[in-house]
Structure 1
């Protein structure tokens, strides 16, 4: 890449490996794409217990990672956020980025945003976590107004907020968040592909040739995996639960006949997902749901709640079925319909693969880089001087 066309990007994220969640995964994919294209990247992220603050181990592609102190939310212990710190300002001043990327900003993200404004650097905020929805799941009542006040205050200061799905885009608009745009997520169609389907694995999971129905995701209250109990006794199927989390022991008691694989990644995960016949998702607070997209890329029809990100991903009657969020009866009926009709499953399997064409990370990150260039006023490599997109000159003052 011509160095004159490269963009320097500082990513301030509330989550980063070795943590495993949707935010961390998306940031890693973005870093991989940016560095592969010759862009310069710095990551600022919360460290774990015992990690020293400061410049830590290199991230994907050898990018520098600045670690800051972090803490878990009291109502959501598995959600770790960075604490506000002036170290963010120092790191940004030294790096001198063209744009700051705020990944699911909440606490550390506010530091990143304040530092960016102090230094005159434009900022893109990527909305990714339904904190209000999670708070409700964990019994924190009456917190919605306060959480949305905080999120609105934060996002109003960003030059652009990117939403991962059309329902989230509409919700943010309704909540008064300005300067919105859509930005989805990519899927690795080499890792998630029907070719990874394994007859040997299927024989172990369903020795009598049953239909294999699987859930893949974190076993935590906000994902509502207890709903799986309503489908566990369907005739002619075997239930497989892939993942780990604080709800695992309770679920193993609730689902004694299900196969629990624990956390899986890499080739094992690719094989497991592709070897399912039906993918079931139970969480109703997903802003996108990458696990659904990975199942579709693997040729697996999906049953999911009709809310948030799944609404964009699942086309009812084409690549899967949607049910009313939390409605165990509709969930059971939807899964039963696919278990009983092999021809419908096979037809949907083909449509599932077709539905994710063009959603690779390369294409998705092309769009993200376009957003970077627009808010920073940087011309694309093939754009003559003085012909930058007019939208790059229309950034509003923060409210």
Structure 2
């Protein structure tokens, strides 16, 4: 199968998009597919990379962020697609990438990639607390109408989770299909747990080992609702001893610092020294707390589960797909009071189960001693329900092959 991806946010200075597309190039090649990425670049040129091909299209820089460029030349994108004659074309965004693919008159199968939810990121983040989610979505009718019309030009809409698939189906988006992302499940593992590291972090906060260590990881952006996390933690920490490590940086970092400094036992890490450090920190904490209700998947939540962490997540967004009562507590998105209650309930139930285990002979997974039943439930869920990167792309390429066969029959 020849697969073309019009990826307007692919850049050598990028983060998650670059990583994902590089994996697609490499694993697509290994599976016997020809993968070509059409991306905005400084000049027009073709480059072989990771077993596939990058077709760079000369594009102007994006003014707010010069790391990125604006994919602006629709005629050139269409010319390249006619030249390539792919079996399937992905439009990897709702903006120029999706519009250019949707308007291309070629015969290839087309899929729209829905890896960002613009209604959740902006209108719901800023206005749902005051007017409610239903009203925000009614007021966002022009946005949903645009997305719905765009989706009609595609054969399927690819989402990264079931919660989002259902949301799009309710809005009349054409053929939404959930193919969840995968993560490196050997890298993020409960085997990375380091009791000494946990003790050191608690000591830095003036706490002993009997206190609880909470962790949250996210970009500092309004959609991540870090204020909700900090307020919820502050309220919960008045009831029992706990500390919070908040990992991340971003456009509202200075605001986060000003707010966090007023709350006892909060420590900020702008960036870990390495992925290994983050993996150790995840496995060595007691509870993972998440705020974002706009993410389409919840990558860091999946990594936390693979590390054996019980989770507290909002009732909206991709993370809710992971919320089994065996290891997860769910609170209304943006409600710091209910978040505080969920944190306390999670820690209390964890403590109760640990006490029962002590009385019942410490039954745990063979290689995960000293973990609570909730931690072991998280590990069991991660082992069976969270995909690896390889499994994700295997599912994606299999579905694409079926679409191509469908179109040819």
Task: Report TM bin, short chain.
Answer: 0.7 to 0.9
**Closer, same or farther in 2 for the Cα pair 1:32/1:241, shift >3 Å?**
farther
3-state secondary structure, aligned to 1:246? coil
Q: 1:23, 1:103 within 8 Å by CA — same for their partners in 2?
A: no
Match of 1:129 among 105, 116, 129: 116
Q: Provide the alpha-carbon RMSD of the alignment.
A: 3.0
The number of residue pairs the alignment matches comes to: 367
Correspondence for 2:174 among 178, 181, 202: 178
**What's 1:388 paired with?**
none
Name the residue aligned to 1:236: 241
SS for the counterpart of 1:292 is: helix
168 and 79 in structure 1: CA distance in 2 versus 1, 3 angstrom threshold? farther
Q: Identify the match of residue 303 of structure 1 among 296, 312, 320.
A: 312
Among residues 175, 190, 197, which one is paired with 1:194 in the alignment? 190
> How do residues 59-138 of structure 1 correspond to structure 2 at under 5 angstroms?
59-61=49-51, 63-67=53-57, 69=59, 82-83=71-72, 85-115=74-104, 118-136=105-123, 137=125
Out of 137-146 and 247-256, give the one that drifted further.
Answer: 137-146
Alpha-carbon separation, structure 2, partners of 1:28 and 1:62: 9
Unaligned runs of 5+ in 1: 1-6, 378-390, 395-399
- 3-state SS of 2:112 partner: strand
Q: Deviations over 1:186-217 (max 9, x none)?
A: 12101211112233432332223232211111
Alignment CA distance shift 1:272-1:63 (3 Å): farther
Is it true that 1:361 corresponds to 2:361 in the alignment? Answer: no
CA shift for structure 1 position 65: 4.7
Higher mean displacement: 18-27 or 88-97:
18-27
Counterpart position of 1:255:
260
Residues 1-399 of structure 1: matches in 2 within 5 Å? 7-18=1-12, 23-47=17-41, 52-55=42-45, 59-61=49-51, 63-67=53-57, 69=59, 82-83=71-72, 85-115=74-104, 118-136=105-123, 137=125, 144-207=140-203, 208-209=208-209, 210-233=211-234, 234=237, 235-256=240-261, 257-264=265-272, 266-316=275-325, 318-340=326-348, 341-344=350-353, 346-358=372-384, 359-377=387-405, 391-392=406-407
Instruction: Please state whether the residue corresponding to 1:152 is helix, strand or coil.
Output: helix
Q: CA deviation at 1:148?
A: 1.2
For 1:329 and 1:78, the matched residues in 2 are separated by: 39
Q: Indicate how the Cα distance of structure 1 residues 262 and 370 shifts in structure 2: closer, same or farther if over 3 A, else same.
A: same
Please give the alpha-carbon distance, in whole angstroms, between the structure 2 residues aligned to 1:314 and 1:70. Answer: 43
Structure-1 residue corresponding to 2:365: none
State the SS of the aligned residue for 2:4: strand
What is the CA deviation profile of residues 143-175 of structure 1, one whole-angstrom value per residue up to 9, with x for unaligned ones?
A: 612221221111111011122222222221222
The alpha-carbon distance between structure 1 residues 376 and 192, as it changes in their structure 2 partners (threshold 3 A), is same
CA–CA separation in structure 1 for the residues paired with 2:282 and 2:29 = 29
**Are the structure 2 counterparts of residues 267 and 371 from structure 1 closer, same or farther at C-alpha, using a change threshold of 3 Å?**
same
CA distance 1:133–1:336, change in 2 (3 Å): same
User: Aligned partners of 1:375, 1:90: CA distance in 2, in Å?
Assistant: 24
Cα distance, 1:325–1:107 mapped onto 2, change above 3 Å: same
Structure showing greater radius of gyration is 2
C-alpha distance in structure 1 between counterparts of 2:276 and 2:291, whole Å: 24
1:239-272 CA-to-partner distances (Å, cap 9, x unmatched) read 1111110111111111124222113453232222
Following superposition, the deviation at residue 309 of structure 1 comes to 1.6
Q: Taking structure 1 as reference, are residues 266 and 164 closer, same or farther at Cα in structure 2, changes over 3 Å only? A: same
Report the Cα offset of residue 29 of structure 1: 3.4
**Aligned equivalents of 1:352 and 1:166: distance in 2?**
19
For residue 329 of structure 2, give the secondary structure of its aligned residue in structure 1: strand
Question: Are the equivalent residues in 2 in contact too, given 1:13–1:105 (CA < 8 A)?
Answer: no
Q: Structure 2 CA distance, aligned partners of 1:373 and 1:342?
A: 49
Tell me if structure 2 keeps the 8 A contact 1:232–1:255: no
CA shift digits 1:12-43 (9 cap, x unpaired): 22433545565554434333321232321111
Greater helix share, structure number? 2
